[in-house]
Amino acid sequence: SRSTMSETRDYKYAVVRFDDRNRYGQTGVPASLLFSGGVKVVVQMKRETIDKAGKRNRFGKIEMLDGSTGQARMEELLGFVGEYAAELEIYQLHYGIRPCRYPDRGVWALSEVEHSDRLDCTHLDVFSVDNASTRDVDDALSFEFDADGGCTIGIHVADVAAHVGCDSPLFDWARNRASSAYHSGFGDTTGGSVPMLPPDLAHDLLSLNQDVRRDALSLFLRVEGGAVVRKWDTRTRLINRDQTTYSAFDADERPARVAARALLQALSGAVAAEDLVAWTMIEYNGYFGSKLAHELDGGAGLLRVQAVAQQAAVYTRAAIGKGIGHKSLGLNEYAHTSSPIRRFSDLHNQHALARTLSTTAAAFDVDAFNARAGQVAAYHAHVAAMELAYACRDAPQLVTGRVELSDEGSVLRLHTGRSRVRIALHDNYFAEPLAALVASSASEGEQLRLEVWGVLKAGRTQLRVRIPRAEQTVRSPLFAASEDAMQPSSCSLAGVDSVLGADADAGVRADGHSDADAEDHCSRMPLVPPSLPPGIGVSEAPPPPPPSEPPPPAQPAAAGSISTGSGALSAERLFALLSTVGVPADALTALRQCGVGVQVLSQLSAADVAGLTGCAPGEAETIVTLAASEAEQLADEPGGGSEGARAPTALATEPSADAPGVTSGAAVAAAAVAPAAVAASTTGLVGGAELSDAGDDDPQLLLFLKGCAVSEMTASLLRGCDVGVDALRLLPADELVELGVPEAEAAAIVAHSVAGAVAGVASLALDTTLADTELKVEEVAGTLGYPPDTFQQNCLAVIIDPALDLLAMAPTGSGKTAVALCAILQAFRRGKRAVYTSPIKALSNQKYAEFKEWFGKRQLAAGVTLLTGDIKIRAPPATTHELIICTSEILRNKLVKNPDEPPPPPTTTAADGSRPLGDGGMRDLDLDNLGCVISDEIHYINDVERGAVWEETLMHLPSTVQLVALSATLREPEAFLAWIGRARSRPGRIVTRKDRHVPLHIGGLDRPRGEFLEFFGTHDSKGFNQPRYDELCKALKEPAERSVASDG
């Protein structure tokens, strides 16, 4: 039959990787199985399906083919990966929540069992308290206060067993479903549920809806003197007079409601409405648990037992479970009886209490039922975490709660209010500091504030967590209220951990009651995502503090003259140097009249200078570079920097390791070396005579220029540039021309160099026959076309040691690409391949063009391969020295064997110490003989959606491969490098430069005026403009004058 065929088919759910351009045959598309450790398969589908699907990954229902390994057939193509509704559907399908085809109404066989002892309580003021979206109301409360101060509390639960008999198909259906399932919704998708019983029953005929007569099983508590003195139960008939919500109950000031809250608070020790109602449900379940265990013959009821705290609670028959108790709740007997509309165990127990449980119904498989209940609990846990992750995908959010580690430290459990979520740590960069913080908080009994965000990994949206910046971390007493703490979910994750490592019942509050066994009342409600403080995220930071003594504002320059800072000497030196290198006189005149200071001039772009002076772009670049050199010398002079607080300057060489400079380009780098800076240089390319004062001529340079037979003007120009003879020998003819040397004389200088030093010295970098495999500064300079600065040399000193990794930190435009070149050349020198990764395709394309031009210009016999997914350009076969440029995802995909499993430990399995690479044990040829990986923009590891790519890449990179990581903005680089060292079992070094070549402006947009108002910058004076900052903050606080702060 068709049903029999369907049962024998092996259906699974997978992420179909349409973004993978590989095809197997004509119609085979790669896919990763969900919930199976990322097993790879090939899915065969129709050609037209592939064509219509595009490049976005989709979820799919696939049928595994008999007798084949990793082969499947497409059964149904589902929604897009990364969309909430599609991901929710996958969870529902996987955990059997959907499809849900209820029995036909014609076979429901509802009964009307009349109990002679049913008490008419329609006169009571009965009210229910639930979430606003609750539709299946299965419990309510009543309070009868006496004149003498006593009270009778009624806890009323819908008597579902009186209408759904054991012989009804609905009873068997409910057992197979185990419970209702809920989700909260996200974005345009509203929350909802898949009820255990048909909606007509769950939401209407059986629900204790307002103003309708319903049957109930009630427990009454007699309270006298502030304590419960007697308990009894009976069947009742009642009317719910007020179907209210938690927030409305909390705010209800009617005397009867105020008195009810006060009494519950006194009895439970809790305050919030959710906790007050949860206490009544625990009382209800504890009472009937004891009755099922001791007062009924046969022990056919179901107890909820937990022999050891923090372990999973399970269902067991009362005859077996009596005496085991529920350790987390501190109760000898406990049974789920308070939610018969949404949970089968409660319906079963109602029949056991009414002695209407048939022999057949009592003999069901409890182990199978526990397994099904665990599946539904896992669904709730995953969906709760997923919905929180979606809420945090756009920006990280701060949450406050109790935190603990489970599963031997690989999972973090975050408790907020009565909700909890599980967050995997095995592949988290922040795992170790988090573990230390959690251990500290556990010993001190504190709540923690953490930063959570959502990432899309292996086709599913998952949670990640880290410790906020120090100024954001707030500790508070355990369970203390917090204004911006994550609000409690409207339900606990009932049995969340029953299959995930620890039972949801296990969390015990300080007052002895369980957070999680609020499940007895609340888990029927939608798992509402927490209300997180708006606008709080990783990008939020307090404003920069104003300096204790702000520098005085710069005095404006006199009209018609350039501002000179410490006097006319600085400006005259600059103009003399500019005149020497051939800047036109009209450009110099325009420059004198513009009235900007030397330091300000050094911060302008070449385009800005060209606009001010009307000179050519090359001349403008020369002006900017030489101004930077003069600004550095001015700052080092006594009394220098009087234009205001010293601003970072763009230099071609640095005076010390603490104040590294910026190489601004091969065309003008050599000309930009200021005398004072050269005197402190440690490049190794500058001879002893070149360490002389600015006024002294270099005898070696004079002899070299005389031998080149250049004119006195050219000799004067090169002496004025203060270029060392060794550096000059490395410059090609076109760059000498750009410095102002006539073409014929530039050719003569190159010809006079030692056998054409540029190509000769650069080619040494690729000579693998040399006994010395360490790359030399001269060889790097020959490839760059200019001497590397101190920052780049310090990086090279780390790169030449194959046992060290490097983290190079420098502002944008500060020569990090030259550091990458050093690493590439060193890999080539060792006879290895190099890989350069970037976060985006456009940057990969740009670097491909740069390195192709670089290698070609220097006549290096090296090939460049580009792999971006869209483009595959391969170096010629048998290329001896190959640089592979690719996006970070490309390298990750090549390295990661199984994206859903933690990486293997850094143990060696091969004779050379390398670990196996690629999928399924097959080596990826692009990773063969890999010597170095350069990871540009490594700060993307903190990206909300893509950070996992960098984490996985670094953790799977073989320990024999050198890592060179580049970044301008990575936060806490020391901690990052320490993590890399532990993850890769390799030491590393950090090399930093702090001067900023590209100015940074911080301010806000005043929308009414359409102006950008700057209150802090790295150019000119670095003073903090407090009045302007206050003005912007005032506009933000007053909507009528609202401005949006931003970084310019």
CA distance 328 to 310: 7
Of 334-338, 506-510, 860-864, 911-915, the poorest mean pLDDT is in: 506-510
CA distance 326 to 333: 7
Q: What is the mean pLDDT of residues 698-722?
A: 71
Residue 764 has pLDDT above 60, yes or no: no
CATH number at residue 867: 3.40.50.300
User: Does residue 528 sit within a domain?
Assistant: no
Instruction: Indicate whether 909 and 837 sit together in one domain.
Output: yes
Instruction: Indicate whether 329 and 438 sit together in one domain.
Output: no
- Pairing, β 397-406 against β 446-457: antiparallel
CA distance 438 to 432: 10
pLDDT for 373 equals 94
Q: Note the pLDDT tens digit of each residue in 880-907.
A: 889 999 999 899 888 875 333 344 444 4
CA distance 298 to 294: 10
pLDDT for 124 equals 97
CA of residue 603 relative to chain centroid, distance? 35
The candidate with the shortest Cα–Cα distance to 662, out of 1020, 1018, 1022, 995, is 995
Q: 121 is written with which tokens?
A: 């309580």
- Pairing, β 805-809 against β 988-992: parallel
User: Which residues have a Cβ under 8 Å from the Cβ of 1016 and sit 6 or more positions away?
Assistant: 544, 1002, 1003, 1022, 1024, 1025, 1029
Q: Determine what percent of the chain is predicted with pLDDT higher than 70.
A: 70
CA distance 961 to 963: 6
Q: 905 is written with which tokens?
A: 């430990």
User: Does residue 87 sit within a domain?
Assistant: no
CA of residue 224 relative to chain centroid, distance? 54
CA of residue 848 relative to chain centroid, distance? 29
User: Does residue 330 sit within a domain?
Assistant: yes
3 state DSSP class of 400: strand
| Residue 90 or 849, more confident | 90
Q: Note the pLDDT tens digit of each residue in 130-171.
A: 998 899 999 999 999 998 889 999 999 999 999 999 999 999
Instruction: Indicate whether 61 and 183 sit together in one domain.
Output: no
DSSP 648: P
Is the distance from CB of 216 to CB of 238 less than 8 angstroms? Answer: yes
User: Does residue 848 sit within a domain?
Assistant: yes
The candidate with the shortest Cα–Cα distance to 304, out of 512, 158, 505, 523, is 505
Spell out a b/e string for 294-304, using b for 16 or more CB atoms within 10 Å of the CB, else e: eebeebbbbbb
CA distance 279 to 65: 52
Instruction: Indicate whether 205 and 289 sit together in one domain.
Output: yes
Instruction: Indicate whether 133 and 256 sit together in one domain.
Output: yes
DSSP 659: S
DSSP alpha helix (H) spans, 392-518: 431-444
Instruction: Indicate whether 9 and 61 sit together in one domain.
Output: yes
CA of residue 602 relative to chain centroid, distance? 38
User: Does residue 173 sit within a domain?
Assistant: yes
CA distance 939 to 840: 13
pLDDT for 139 equals 97
User: Does residue 731 sit within a domain?
Assistant: no
Q: Which domain holds residue 1032?
A: 1001-1047
In terms of average pLDDT, the best of 71-75, 319-323, 757-761, 943-947 is: 71-75
Instruction: Indicate whether 938 and 895 sit together in one domain.
Output: yes
CA distance 937 to 968: 7
User: Does residue 721 sit within a domain?
Assistant: no
Is the distance from CB of 515 to CB of 492 less than 8 angstroms? Answer: yes
Backbone angles phi, psi at 435, to 5 degrees: -60, -40
pLDDT for 501 equals 29
CA distance 1032 to 716: 53
CA distance 441 to 412: 13
Backbone angles phi, psi at 64, to 5 degrees: -70, 135
Sign of CA dihedral 212, 171, 283, 228: positive
Instruction: Indicate whether 67 and 209 sit together in one domain.
Output: no
The candidate with the shortest Cα–Cα distance to 138, out of 182, 219, 203, is 203
Secondary structure of 472-501 as H, E, C letters = CCCCEECCCCCCCCCCCCCCCCCCCCCCCC
Residue 840 has pLDDT above 90, yes or no: no
Of 314-328, 702-716, 754-768, the poorest mean pLDDT is in: 754-768
CA distance 653 to 164: 86
User: Which residues have a Cβ under 8 Å from the Cβ of 835 and sit 6 or more positions away?
Assistant: 883, 884, 885, 886, 891, 926, 927, 930, 932, 933, 934
3 state DSSP class of 655: coil
User: Which residues have a Cβ under 8 Å from the Cβ of 142 and sit 6 or more positions away?
Assistant: 121, 124, 125, 126, 127, 153, 154, 156, 238
Instruction: Indicate whether 223 and 169 sit together in one domain.
Output: yes
Q: 897 is written with which tokens?
A: 């064997």
Q: What is the mean pLDDT of residues 83-106?
A: 93
The candidate with the shortest Cα–Cα distance to 653, out of 757, 561, 526, 788, is 788
User: Does residue 585 sit within a domain?
Assistant: yes
Residue 990 has pLDDT above 70, yes or no: yes
CA distance 334 to 329: 9
Residue with the two structure tokens 């006169």: 123
Residue 765 has pLDDT above 90, yes or no: no
CA distance 678 to 655: 8
pTM of the complete model: 0.53
DSSP alpha helix (H) spans, 164-245: 169-177, 199-200
Other residues' Cβ atoms within 10 Å of the Cβ of residue 172: 16
Residue with the two structure tokens 């090169």: 718
Q: How many domains are there within the chain?
A: 6
Instruction: Indicate whether 23 and 147 sit together in one domain.
Output: no
Secondary structure of 29-65 as H, E, C letters = EEEEECCCCCCEEEEECCHHHHHHHCCCCEEEEEEEC
Other residues' Cβ atoms within 10 Å of the Cβ of residue 83: 18
CA distance 192 to 667: 65
Other residues' Cβ atoms within 10 Å of the Cβ of residue 696: 11
Q: 137 is written with which tokens?
A: 């109301």
Name residue 883's beta-bridge partners.
Answer: 834, 864
Instruction: Kindly state the helix (H) or strand (E) to which residue 217 belongs, with its residue range.
Output: strand 213-224
pLDDT for 936 equals 92
Q: How confident is the model at residue 205 (pLDDT cuts 50, 70, 90)?
A: very high
pLDDT for 903 equals 44
Q: 347 is written with which tokens?
A: 């319906």
Q: Where among 489, 522, 555 does a domain terminate?
A: 522
3 state DSSP class of 709: coil
Instruction: Indicate whether 839 and 922 sit together in one domain.
Output: yes
pLDDT for 996 equals 66
- How far apart are the two ends of the chain, measured CA to CA in Å? 69
CATH number at residue 11: 2.40.50.140
Q: Where among 578, 603, 636 does a domain terminate?
A: 636
Side chain identity, residue 234 = T
Q: 455 is written with which tokens?
A: 């990432």
| Residue 1034 or 563, more confident | 1034
Identify how many contiguous H helices and E strands the chain contains and give both numbers: 34, 32
Instruction: Indicate whether 949 and 972 sit together in one domain.
Output: yes
Q: Where among 989, 1019, 1038 does a domain terminate?
A: 989
Q: Note the pLDDT tens digit of each residue in 994-1020.
A: 776 667 788 888 777 778 888 887 666
Q: How confident is the model at residue 441 (pLDDT cuts 50, 70, 90)?
A: low
Residue 314 has pLDDT above 60, yes or no: yes
Burial class (CB within 10 angstroms; exposed 0-12, middle 13-18, buried 19+) of 262: exposed
CA distance 324 to 335: 12
Is the distance from CB of 44 to CB of 72 less than 8 angstroms? Answer: yes
pLDDT for 525 equals 36
pLDDT for 417 equals 62
Q: How confident is the model at residue 779 (pLDDT cuts 50, 70, 90)?
A: confident
Instruction: Kindly state the helix (H) or strand (E) to which residue 12 belongs, with its residue range.
Output: strand 11-16
Sign of CA dihedral 673, 678, 681, 684: positive
Q: 439 is written with which tokens?
A: 């251990």
